[in-house]
Amino acid sequence: MFQNQAEVDAYTNADGQKLQPNAAPGDIRFVDHNGDGVIDADDRTNIGDPTPKWTYGTNLRVDYKNFDLNIFRTRCFWQ
């Protein structure tokens, strides 16, 4: 992410042209993966699977007279 306008202005290719000319502070900074000095479709890359390998949840409920206790926990694992 671009933190300020100085970072946006400094993000240039070897010729001094801005790689993201319409960017503003707070925007995502894209990477020129193939090194051709242009951000385009050729720079796309697979950065991982967003779907967890498995997910589980546990639920515990206890009632006694006018008192009840509910505990719920969920976990996801991407490993």
* pLDDT tens-digit map of 16-48: 889 998 999 999 999 988 888 888 889 888 888
| Residue 51 reports pLDDT greater than 70 | yes
| Residue 67 reports pLDDT greater than 80 | yes
Cite the DSSP H helix spans in 1-55.
5-10
pLDDT band at 79 (very low <50, low <70, confident <90, very high): low
**C-alpha to C-alpha distance for 3 and 26, rounded to whole angstroms:** 6
Instruction: Provide the pLDDT for residue 24.
Output: 93
38-62: string of b/e by CB count within 10 Å (b at 16+)?
A: ebeeeeeeeeeeeeeeeeeeeeeee
Instruction: Provide the pLDDT for residue 47.
Output: 82
Average pLDDT of the chain is 89
| Residue 75 reports pLDDT greater than 90 | no
CA distances for 37 relative to 19, 21, 33, 49, angstroms: 7, 13, 9, 28
